Chains A and B, each alone.
Chain A
Amino acid sequence: MFKFKFKKKKPHGFSQAELGILVFGNTSEVIGAQKALETNGWKIRVMGPPPEIQSGCDLVIEFPLIQELDIIRLLEKLGIPPIEMVPVTGPLLQPVDLFHIKDFGEFLMIRAANMKITVEKSTRLIVNVSGGGCPDVPYLACMMVGKTMAQAPNPLDIGHTLCGYALGLAFKEMEKRCSQW
């Protein structure tokens, strides 16, 4: 009797062996690279760096290795080349999930890097935005707290700092979760 064992595929359809990570010197470069790569239609993910990577900033980009040359060429052309490109060859080289999710029963909190967003599950009302330390965090919180996920502005549109960017990632993940309820 044959037993077929299927390799677990990543969400964007590539197995671990087919993926690599791009390491950048600072988070601004990650933001620029993410925007450029997504605009060009590449399926990438912003993740936390794997334990074995000691260089670079707190974010990495996971990408399909098969597209390595085209991606590097584009990033070099834009002046934001990665400082390192590493194939995901083992568990210690696997990027870690950027999101920390905590269920408080009636409320759900998602943290991305240093920013947290908390939503009341039954109403999807944003009850808290906190974290960071960037000057636009109080502004972002004022614009979002007390509004539903549908009414609130996307922090990626109104934020101007790395905290705004991290909150935007948490907001995007929360939107995804909300659509599953």
Chain B
Amino acid sequence: MSITIDARGYSCPQPVLMFMKAIKSGSENEVIVMVDTDASKENVSRAAESKNYSVTDIQQQGDEYRMTLIKD
């Protein structure tokens, strides 16, 4: 299953908490996270890796990032 989280406009740690809540069921193989700061991008990446998700793609559009996280 795939899910998209729009965390734009939220400051840390909220994007990370949104990601953590989204993967809680364990059924999400692909998570798309949209953030709008470098810090959020780094923090979500770190949290994802600690939960066995790999960051397979990051697309930047202006100040925004669209991150693709795939469960290992």
Which A residues fall within an 8 A CB radius of B? Answer: 104, 106-107, 109, 116, 118, 120, 127-128, 130-131, 138, 141-142, 145-146
CB distance from A129 to the nearest CB of B (A): 8
Q: Is B51 within 8 A of A104, CB to CB?
A: no
Given contacts A116-B12, A120-B20, A141-B43, 11 further A-B contacts (CB under 8 A): A104-B17, A107-B20, A118-B13, A127-B47, A128-B12, A128-B17, A141-B42, A145-B50, A146-B46, A146-B47, A146-B51
CB contacts (< 8 Å) of B21 on chain A: these are 106
Whether B39 is near chain A, meaning CB under 8 Å from some CB there, is: yes
Q: Is A130 within 8 A of B17, CB to CB?
A: no
CB contacts (< 8 Å) of B43 on chain A: these are 128, 130, 141
Binary contact track B1-24/A, C-beta < 8 Å → 1, others 0:
000000000001110110011000
Chain B contributes a number of interface residues (CB within 8 A of A) equal to 15
Q: Is A128 within 8 A of B13, CB to CB?
A: yes
Interface class of chain A by DSSP: strand
Nearest A residue to B50 via CB reads A146
Q: Is A116 within 8 A of B50, CB to CB?
A: no
- B14, B39, B42, B46, most chain A CB atoms within 10 A: B46
CB contacts (< 8 Å) of A146 on chain B: these are 46-47, 49-51
Q: Is B17 within 8 A of A145, CB to CB?
A: no
Which 7 residue pairs of A and B lie closest in terms of their CB atoms, listed nearest first?
A146-B50, A128-B13, A118-B13, A130-B12, A128-B16, A145-B46, A145-B50
